[in-house]
Structure formats: structure tokens, C-alpha cells
Structure 1
Amino acid sequence: MSVTVRPLTGAEIGAALGDLAKLRITVFAAYPYLYDGDAAYEAAYLTEYAAATDAVLVAAFDGDRIVGAATAAPMIHQKAEFREPFAARGLDVERLFYFGESVLMPAYRGKGIGHAFFDHREAQARACGANAACFAAVIRPENHPAKPAGYVPHDAFWTKRGYAVVPGLVTNLAWKEHGEEGESLKAMQYWLRSW
């Protein structure tokens, strides 16, 4: 299997949004997100993301097929619920980059693609003058009933990349989880790396 990972910008992002939506719906359906996604929500969310100045979508290609993707954009262009926890602590969102989803089909995991996703997003953040990057990960209780046996969170990988949990820096985002009638708020823990 030969996979190429490269950043997409501008019009290339728009052309890849359909593939990203399918990946998000497929990959986030699993624990810990348990996302019950739909095309209409994805279209609205991703169109807004693609419009952000300096946004980047890093895509993993197997031939001409996108099998994984990761996004990033300046925090200043994110929704208020993403920015507010930082502003409330007096942290400068003007020089902060937000890393959105990182989704990869299971057959392609464990091959260094996740590191490539971070490398490209960090390079874009630095090129845009950011002095830090962050992302948010859903908080689930240890005894969550949908947690698969042997589940290993990505904490060790993120720590190795230089990211750390910022205690108390949490936001709440809503999405529809499998088995829910509608959207509900989920707590999301921020991880941060400065350089």
C-alpha cells in the first residue's frame, strides 16, 4: 500500500469536502465519538470551515482515493464556543491554530500517517504566524457502556507530539450520537502545544 500525504489549500479544499464528510461520518461513528452523522450537517459544517482564511486540509491519498484527512485553521476563524474558553483565560486566540478532525480509515493506521497530519498542520500554523496549536478531544467516562474492550486512547501519541491537556480548559459541542433522538452537548478537553 502506497499512501501520499499532502496539504490542500484554496479550491483543492472545496474539491475534497465530499470525501472528508464521508470519512467523518464513517470514522467518528466509532467510540469515543459515536457520531450519528448526516450529509446535510456535514455540508454546512465543512463549507464554513473551508471559507476560513489560511485553512488547510491535509489529505492521505491511496492512488487518487482520499483515505484520511486532517484539518486546521486559525482559531480566530472558529465558532465562538471554540474560542471562548481561551478568551476567558486571557489566552491570545489571534496567534493560535485550531486542529479540527483527524480521520483515517482503519486499514491505514499505524503507518505514520497521523504524524504526517500533525507535521503538515503545524507547518501551516507556523507559516501563518501562530505560536501555538490546540485541538479538543471528547471526554468519556472510563466505564462508558460503548467503550470497546482493549480501547487505547490517543493520549500517548498526542503527548509524544508535544501536546498536553490544559486542566479545566473545556468546551461543549453538540452532535447526535447513535441512539439519541437529537443532538446533545458533549464535553471536549483541549490539548495545547506552544513553540
Structure 2
Amino acid sequence: MPAEIRTLTGEELTAALNDLARLRISVFRSWPYLYEGSLEYEAGYLQRYARTEGAVIVGAYDGSRLVGAATGEPLGAELEAFKTPFLKQGLDPENVFYMAESVLDPAYRGQGIGHRFFDEREAHARRLGFGEAAFCAVIRPDTHPLKPVDYAPLDPFWRKRGYEKLEGVVVTFPWRDVGENEETDKPMQVWHRNL
């Protein structure tokens, strides 16, 4: 049975944050993010969606279980580390909707849910009056020892959706990699499209 897609804002968004935290820890542990997350950190990090006007979670549900989620919020409400590279390129963060993260349980991949995540977030952004959308993808070296031999980057999927890399626009964000004791800054390539 295909997952049910629900667009969550307000109280529904807030109610989904704990499930989103668990899902992020599980999915982002894999390549290329290699994220060693904790529920304590996630609880604080995800609260920004509850506080931000215009934030959205597009959830994929199997019954009452959250099996996938994509988040977004106005870029103007994002962390300075995410806004500054846009400003340096002459882009106005107030006109950009930031597609923050997409996580999907591997058992539910290949069913078109990734497209629905983009469709629903882009529609939400347009309803709010945004003319542009952007997201970031972590940059890992091809020689990284944990890179799976069968890994296929999502670049073709993103290009098919109308996104292109903003050359030279890279943000950094710290997290702890699997098996490491300290956070390190990770470079992330910005992808962008006009809505």
C-alpha cells in the first residue's frame, strides 16, 4: 500500500517533530550524510520549525507511522550560515523558500514519494508568495572510505525537477560523523530554481 502524503503546518507540524527526529537519525546515518545524531540534539534543532511562520513538513505516513518527511521554511528564517552565501551571490533570502531536508525509509523508496515531497513544498512556497526555492546537498569526496560502491548521486533527479547547482555557493554546517567524537564542518552545495 502506498504511503499517504500529508502537508503539516501549525499544531500538526509541532506534533510530528519527535517522529521526524527519530526518522532523521535513522536515515541520515547512511551515506552521504553519515550523521551520528541524538534525540536531545534533534529536539532543539527541529523546534525552529514550530517557531517559524511559513514552515512546513510534508509527511509520508504508513497508517499512523511517519516513514518519510521533507521540511521547508523561508530562507530568511534560517541560520546565518545558510543565508550568507546567498547574500554574497546577490540573491535575496527573503524571496527564497529553503527546502531543508528530505528523509525516507528505504523500504518506501521508488514509489514517487520524493517527487511528492518537492511538489508539496513548492506548492506551499508558491502559496506564500516565494519566487525561488533552494536546498543543500552534502559534498563528500569520491575517495571517502564509507562511500558505497553502488551509490548513485541524486543530481539527475534534482535536475529533472528544475534545480541546478549555484556554482560557487556552498554552505557549511557542523555535525558528528558516524564513529567520530567531535563535530566537523561539512560543505554543502546549494541547488536552486525559480518557482
Hey, what does 1:68 align to over in structure 2? 68
Hey, what does 2:59 align to over in structure 1? 59
Question: Is the partner of 2:121 in helix, strand or coil?
Answer: helix
Partners in 1 of 2:135 and 2:182 — Cα distance? 25
Q: Deviations over 1:76-95 (max 9, x none)?
A: 00000010000112211111
Task: Report the aligned-residue RMSD.
Answer: 0.7
Partners in 1 of 2:60 and 2:185 — Cα distance? 30
- How is 1:162-173 mapped onto 2 (pairs within 5 angstroms)? 162-173=162-173
Hey, what does 2:133 align to over in structure 1? 133
Q: Deviations over 1:92-131 (max 9, x none)?
A: 1111000011000000000000000000000011011110
TM-score by length of 2: 0.98
Report the AA paired with residue 65 of structure 1.
R
TM-score by length of 1: 0.98
Contact 2:2 2:111 in 1 (8 A): no
How many percent identity over aligned positions? Answer: 53
Hey, what does 2:34 align to over in structure 1? 34
Partners in 1 of 2:108 and 2:178 — Cα distance? 25
Contact 1:86 1:92 in 2 (8 A): yes
1:148 to 2:145 alignment: no
- How is 1:1-195 mapped onto 2 (pairs within 5 angstroms)? 1-195=1-195
Partners in 2 of 1:106 and 1:86 — Cα distance? 32
Report the AA paired with residue 192 of structure 1.
H
Partners in 2 of 1:79 and 1:94 — Cα distance? 13
What is the number of residues matched between the two proteins? 195
